[in-house]
Structure 1
């Protein structure tokens, strides 16, 4: 795993993080869904007051950001301990196969172990076979017995008003 570095993101990385998120949205066939702004990313990752609500790692190669992992802490009521929720892991397609994704995922596992956290979890789209195979190769196990639900938009607003 040479030729790249993994590091914590800085405020200067926000444009690259947004670029990679938008590339991920295109890959996931929802380019219009990636509407986050630089200001929103900066407020979440590098707030002027208080702690961040999300964190990011970046992978750099030849002076360019080519990959990222965006995550936030979670909590398990069953174990009574925190975990890590991986929101997005993305490596530019032309940079894949170099160990960058493995290094990003490995660094997240290190964060969990260092902090005594019990879980590293994420979603992957059912049709995303390359990612599923990548995760399985690292020992990840699908949680197929769970169904994800989401409230957003008008349904979220309506429930909030009730």
Structure 2
């Protein structure tokens, strides 16, 4: 699976009040770059309602929203760190809300690619110093480099 990562899909200190705002923001950026089809923007919101993507961990917490591979033109990740955490529902216990500060939106264009990418992203989730470094980066380039190291 070839992964396309670029600085144009890396956003630091995003200001959002809700998970819906963050999801729309990242999905629209993926669409503008031609990585996903227009339907992806709505599909990501619908999927999040049914299958929450907030991951339980120590802070800063991560969410990994994604939608169906058929809506993806180019396999990539879009990442946002948030100035203030927003609530996502816990992937394991839907009724539990988690303050999330790192959102990694997966646009995976292969049917089984999501599993491979999830395994790589799990390493980020298990690495608290890495997550803290992601929040503290001073440039999009620096954040992209941390992401590249984690999923390479």
TM-score (norm. length: structure 2): 0.32
Larger radius of gyration: 1
Q: Which has the higher contact order (CA 8 A, sep 6+)?
A: 2
TM-score (norm. length: structure 1): 0.30
